[in-house]
Amino acid sequence: MKQGLIVATMLLTDAGFWNIYIGAKPAPNACHHLHVITDFIWLFLILYQLHLIEHKRHADYKRVGLAVLFVAPLIFRRHC
């Protein structure tokens, strides 16, 4: 169930960037690229954390959690 919610979030993220990359007048800039990359890295790390916790790899889960905390602020960065 949790993995499904994250995958749904990834699909919604695709929809959010659709016009910028594939719409009628696509015009992505460096900030858009950075935002998309960090957003998907963050979502994949969270998905990977779920995998680790299901397989009782708690030490790895904590390490990935630190990476999530590092990547998350990059998503909300206002200036490139």
Q: Residue 53: what pLDDT?
A: 93
pTM given for the model: 0.79
Q: Residue 62: what pLDDT?
A: 95
Q: Residues 16-36: pLDDT tens digits?
A: 888 889 988 888 988 888 888
Output the tens digit of pLDDT for each of the chain's 80 residues: 778 888 888 888 888 888 889 988 888 988 888 888 888 898 899 999 999 999 999 999 999 999 988 888 887 776 66
Distance CA 65, CA 71 (A): 10
- Phi, psi dihedral angles at 23 (to 5 degrees): -65, -170
The b/e string for 2-15 (b: 16+ C-beta within 10 A; e otherwise) is: eeeebeeeeeebee
